[in-house]
């Protein structure tokens, strides 16, 4: 076999017929239009309010590109089509913006269903949830602020949140399904970190079941990684880590500036990349105690991880090392890695079309063209279209 290369678009798009490739081409071409993407949240809001029949259109276009289906069962076809190329699925219930306790209970039950689904299907190596889907943001923010004390009512409320999370982690542990807990905004992350660490302490004594997520766009996270490792050593548990760069950079900077505190974000992209790669290196050097997933669309970091594995004689299919990308994106990384027998899994967002719209809009925004340049995803599709022509 040829050496691993992310340039190979034939492998990247091998699962797509030319018709499907053309459909993706038009979709990415459309979302590369800045103005259209900017006004789309507004247009969609109006269209849904007027009950215009746009659900079908969204479902057949952007939803189909980035989401697995409207429910767990509806994702089966996509799970199988990835599995045909040895790519796993991570079912991500992507309903956002809910805030009542009923909603939190529903999200808990849905997350538990994804764990049971993973237990029954070898093609689903992990489950995942966001803590903000189970708790009020204001509560998480208050818990994260060491200067503020919770009142009695809030203490009870937070206890219930911890119980929900414990019920999810207990189900994951009982069924031997590994579980990611996503990282979120820095002002709620301390609360999340504390809960995740307590869950790792409880459920990771034999292997990494519960995984925390570290955002390396934060300048304090590499030190936190070393501290987490020391804690795991002392507490005699395994450290599960998903390493990402981080998704809330603008929001973080704006808030820091507005509220007058130092930004938690690295000074530039190079520092973020440097810490990301240092984190991968650290995890591989301590693989006896750490299981890691590189959640990234960055080619250099993905390639670096394969090199670090080789240097440390870690088998490509060692269950302690995974690569992960989002459904519908960076197929050149996912499919080339899986072709070379590395462990790869795609985040597969799912949920009712209307509820996953914020997720879809973020994906569209990410793929708008910068200063007239062709976006990366579009460029790869064009390259493959030319190769097939």
269 in contact with ligand FAD (CB under 6 A): yes
SS3 content of the chain, % helix, strand, coil (to 5): 55, 10, 30
Which of helix, strand or coil describes residue 239?
strand
344 in contact with ligand FAD (CB under 6 A): no
178-181 vs 126-129, strand pairing mode: parallel
The DSSP result for 13-66, as a single string, is TTTS-HHHHHHHHHHHHHHT-HHHHHHHHHHHHHHHHTT-S-HHHHIIIIIHHH
Q: Contact 178/203 with Cβ under 8 angstroms?
A: no
Nearer to ligand FAD, 18 or 319 (CB): 319
326 in contact with ligand FAD (CB under 6 A): yes
CA–CA separation, 315 and 374 (whole Å): 37
377 in contact with ligand FAD (CB under 6 A): no
Q: Contact 100/107 with Cβ under 8 angstroms?
A: no
40-59 footprint of ligand FAD as x/- string (CB under 6 A): --------------------
183 in contact with ligand FAD (CB under 6 A): yes
Nearer to ligand FAD, 104 or 217 (CB): 217
Residue pointed to by tokens 């809330």: 248
Report CA 218 to chain centroid distance, whole Å: 17
Output the smallest distance, CB 130 to ligand FAD, in A.
8
Output the smallest distance, CB 51 to ligand FAD, in A.
34
Count of residues of this chain found to bind ligand FAD when the rule CB under 6 A is applied: 24
Output the smallest distance, CB 22 to ligand FAD, in A.
25
Q: Burial-class residue 283 by CB neighbours within 10 Å (0-12, 13-18, 19+).
A: buried
245 in contact with ligand FAD (CB under 6 A): yes
- Among 135, 249, 305, 344, indicate the residue that binds ligand FAD (CB under 6 A): 249
Output the smallest distance, CB 269 to ligand FAD, in A.
4
Q: Which spans of this chain sit near ligand FAD (rule: CB under 6 A)?
A: 182-183, 213, 215, 217, 244-249, 265-266, 268-269, 272, 295-298, 324-326, 347
């Amino acid at each position: 076999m040829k050496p691993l290369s992310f340039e190979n678009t034939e492998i990247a798009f091998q699962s797509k017929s030319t018709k499907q490739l053309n459909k993706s081409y038009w979709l990415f071409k459309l979302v590369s239009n800045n103005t259209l993407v900017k006004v789309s949240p507004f247009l969609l809001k109006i269209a849904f309010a007027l009950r215009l029949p746009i659900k079908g259109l969204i479902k057949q276009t952007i939803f189909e590109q980035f989401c697995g289906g409207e429910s767990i069962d509806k994702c089966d076809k996509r799970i199988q089509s990835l599995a045909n190329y040895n790519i796993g699925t991570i079912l991500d219930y992507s309903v956002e913006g809910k805030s009542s306790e009923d909603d939190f209970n529903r999200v808990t039950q849905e997350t538990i269903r994804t764990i049971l689904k993973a237990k029954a299907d070898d093609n689903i190596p992990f489950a995942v949830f966001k803590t903000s889907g189970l708790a009020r943001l204001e509560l998480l923010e208050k818990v994260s602020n060491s200067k503020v004390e919770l009142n009695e009512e809030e203490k009870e409320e937070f206890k219930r949140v911890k119980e929900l999370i414990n019920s999810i982690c207990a189900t994951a542990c009982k069924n031997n399904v590994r579980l990611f807990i996503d990282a979120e905004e820095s002002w709620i992350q301390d609360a999340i970190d504390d809960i995740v660490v307590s869950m790792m302490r409880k459920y990771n004594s034999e292997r990494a079941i519960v995984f925390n997520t570290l955002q390396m766009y934060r300048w304090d996270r590499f030190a936190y990684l070393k501290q987490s490792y020391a804690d795991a050593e002392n507490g005699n548990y395994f450290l599960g880590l998903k390493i990402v760069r981080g998704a809330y950079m603008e929001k973080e900077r704006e808030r820091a500036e507005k509220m007058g505190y130092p930004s938690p974000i690295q000074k530039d992209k190079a520092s973020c990349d440097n810490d990301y790669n240092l984190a991968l290196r650290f995890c591989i050097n301590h693989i006896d105690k750490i299981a890691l997933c590189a959640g990234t669309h960055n080619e250099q970091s993905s390639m670096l991880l394969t090199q670090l594995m080789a240097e440390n004689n870690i088998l490509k299919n060692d269950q302690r090392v995974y690569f992960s990308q989002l459904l519908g994106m960076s197929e050149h990384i996912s499919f080339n890695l899986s072709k070379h027998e590395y462990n790869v899994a795609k985040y597969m967002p799912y949920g009712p079309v209307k509820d996953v719209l914020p997720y879809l809009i973020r994906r569209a925004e990410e793929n708008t063209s910068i200063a007239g340049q062709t976006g990366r995803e579009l460029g790869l599709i064009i390259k493959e279209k030319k190769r097939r022509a």
